[in-house]
Amino acid sequence: MSFFGAIGRWARGFTQELRDFTDYTESPRRYRRLRRNMILMGIIGTTIPLVLLAAMNYHQFQRAMKGELMQPLRILVNRTKHSFELFLTERLSALSFIASAYSWEELADERGLHRVFQVMKRELGGFVDLGLIDRRGIQVGYVGPYELKGRDYSDQGWFQEVTVRGRYVSDVFMGYRKFPHFVIAVERQADRGEWWVLRATVDTEKFNHLIASIGLTETTDAFVVNRVGVLQTPSKYYGKVLEQCPFSLPPPSQVPMVMETEDPYGREVLLGYTYSEFPSFILMVVQPRAELLRSWITLRSELFLLFAASLLVIYMVLYKVTGLLVKRIQESDMRREASHREMQYTNKLASIGRLAAGVAHEINNPMAIINEKAGLMKDLIETSDYCPNREKFLSLTGSILQSVERVRNVTHRLLGFARRMDVQYEMLCLNEVLQEVMGFLEKDAFHRSIELQVELAEDLPRIYSDRGQLQQVFLNILNNAFEAVEDGGRVAVQTRREGPEWVAAAIQDNGKGMSEETMKHIFDPFFTTKKGYGTGLGLSITYGIVSRLGGKIQVHSREGMGTTFTVLLPLRAPQIEGSRDGTM
């Protein structure tokens, strides 16, 4: 499978995962996946446009920069080409002028030809010798350091070319002179039908001076090659004169061109060149690409660093923002889940309450009859003059009446759990409510030697709540605390302000404490650890009352260490729908 196939599979899996992301459980893995997906989408959404924009700008900027940086090389090539052409044209023109200004007889005269040659060397320079050739190709006049008079050129190509085109410029060659030179020749036809050729040899050292005068840098090279790629001038790096040029001949062009290529040493270079039609040669200027584009490479590196830094900043911001968003989503899910559980719990309490009310009513009716009959039996026994086993019957009827009272208490609590209890709002002091409740339990604490520690905050603000409901709440909690401790135990009651909007009452005992499993169910209706006598409704009722009053209950317990119930109440209880004048 290709790389693109693997990318396609990953993209399909990623898209499918986004579509199927419906697991609302509060698992940490879900939120890690959510954050990962958000980061990936953010990276894709920001990186792709930035990369495309950067690539377009990079390409356009690179093209513009290259154009501007290559232009000086084109100008250099063009100027050097004109210098070469001017040099050659100047000498051809001088030779043509001499051929036209002097007659055959004057040039055929050795002294006259010598005088002309000296003038040419002095005024123009570079000439090595000068020869006069008749129409048969025989050099009839010669001035120079060699013995070439009488030499026959009739069978040589350059002689045929000059007879056809009227002028000729040769490539550089060594010849029997043993140094690089080239030949220029012009044809002259006199009015009387005379015809001859004036031929001069030029030293190529002048070419080297021309190249040296264009001001090349240390790493830049310039040279001339002919149409078959033979060096006509020496090169600093690519060969001596008359050696084969290592570069392939570029496409013909009469205007200066620049192309990117590699030199024989594997370096990336820019090759500037131009063709000259007559004289026929190719001028080449080679410059290392790194040197010419140094400023562009530096700018490119800076742009890349800026681009990478920008992406890094974007990714860091994306990482932080997604973390904050996922955290908010997780908190929202937790609140939603808590509300859902609370709603389920409330519905459960309502259902059980309706069931309890029905059961209580059904039990109360026969219990009322039993109570009346037992009371009547007791009265009859007490008023009867003769009643064997009077004491025994009185004891039995008393047991019946006590059981009926116990059943009545249970049904009363059931009804209290089930009915919607009226709430009477008033401004009250929480310390006073606790002191009233503790007054009910003082005797019990005294008889069982329970140490009752009270620490009530003196500056506790008054709250707007229901006194009777709060009395029931704290009575239930204190009763449980008293039942949890052994005789001689300790129960501590403390009040304090909890932030700007709350007050708190903490009831702590050093009893046997509760296990974690027990704590999970202490507010469930009918859940009790008091085997045989508990109804399991006390804390359920307490929880319901505190919730209606806008408060909260916190429980901390350790087995063998004791339990602490903390009741948090708002300074002002929320007004429940349906309340009127503070009463509902």
pLDDT surpassing 50 at residue 35:
yes
Q: 127 has which bridge partners? A: 202
Per-residue confidence at 385, pLDDT binned at 50, 70, 90? confident
**CA 181 from centroid of its chain's CA atoms:** 68
Lowest mean pLDDT among 6-15, 38-47, 121-130, 499-508: 6-15
d(CA 342, CA 268): 76
DSSP summary character for residue 387? -
- In order of 5, 8, 16, 234, the CA distances from 2 in angstroms are 5, 10, 21, 53
DSSP summary character for residue 550? T
Residue of 136 and 526 predicted with greater confidence: 136
Lowest mean pLDDT among 193-202, 298-307, 436-445: 436-445
- Rounded to 5°, the CA angle 290-294-300 comes to 110
d(CA 423, CA 521): 27
For residue 315, what are its two tokens? Answer: 């990714």
d(CA 75, CA 220): 15
Residue 24 buriedness (CB in 10 A; 0-12 / 13-18 / 19+): exposed
What is the structure's pLDDT at 309?
Answer: 92
Contact 452, 445 (CB under 8 A): yes
d(CA 262, CA 512): 91
Q: What is the pLDDT of residues 247-279, one digit of tens each?
A: 999 999 888 999 889 988 888 898 999 998 877
pLDDT surpassing 80 at residue 561:
yes
What three-state secondary structure class fits 132? strand
- CA 437, 441, 443, 447: dihedral to nearest 10 degrees? -160
For residue 546, what are its two tokens? Answer: 């505190």
Describe the crossing of helices 538-548 and 390-418 by its angle, rounded to 10 degrees.
30
Pairing of strands 490-498, 451-455: parallel
d(CA 150, CA 140): 6
What is the structure's pLDDT at 581?
Answer: 39
d(CA 262, CA 273): 15
Contact 167, 186 (CB under 8 A): yes
Q: What is the pLDDT of residues 285-344, one digit of tens each?
A: 998 887 777 777 788 888 889 889 988 999 999 999 999 998 898 888 888 877 777 677
